[in-house]
Amino acid sequence: MEAFGQFIPLILIFAIMYFLLIRPQQQKLKQHQAMVEALRRGDQVVTQGGVIGKVVKVKDDGEVEVEIAKDVKVRIVRSTIAQVLSKTEPANDA
């Protein structure tokens, strides 16, 4: 019984670490993945490098084509998008 009593502080430290560090990071990762999956043509985004642009084309292979200036388009890996500044209505692909 005394041996179990010695592990109680260790168990409490792990529980505190889980609720203060690990769980919030997992939730933030899920939110980021949901944001990246919801990208649409016309959304204004900021990359992790600080580049601001407008999504021109969303590709299936994990890439997004972003227009950073008039007639200047770059391909960006979806996961490197840090923030969506403005959402647009769904575009008609007609």
| 93 falls within a domain | no
Q: 20 is in which domain, residue-wise? A: 2-86
| 91 falls within a domain | no
Q: What Rg, from alpha-carbon coordinates, does the chain have?
A: 21
Residue 1 has what pLDDT? 63
pTM: 0.69
Rounded distance, CA 51 to CA 75, Å?
12
Total domains in the fold of the chain: 1
Q: In this structure, what DSSP letter does residue 65 have?
A: E
Sheet strands (E) in 1-94: 44-47, 52-58, 63-69, 72-77, 81-86
Rounded distance, CA 67 to CA 1, Å?
66
Number of C-beta neighbours around residue 85 at 10 A: 11
From the first residue on, what is the mean pLDDT of each consecutive set of 10 residues in the chain (94 residues)?
82 91 92 89 92 91 92 92 81 51
Q: What CATH number does the domain containing 50 carry?
A: 2.30.30
| 92 falls within a domain | no
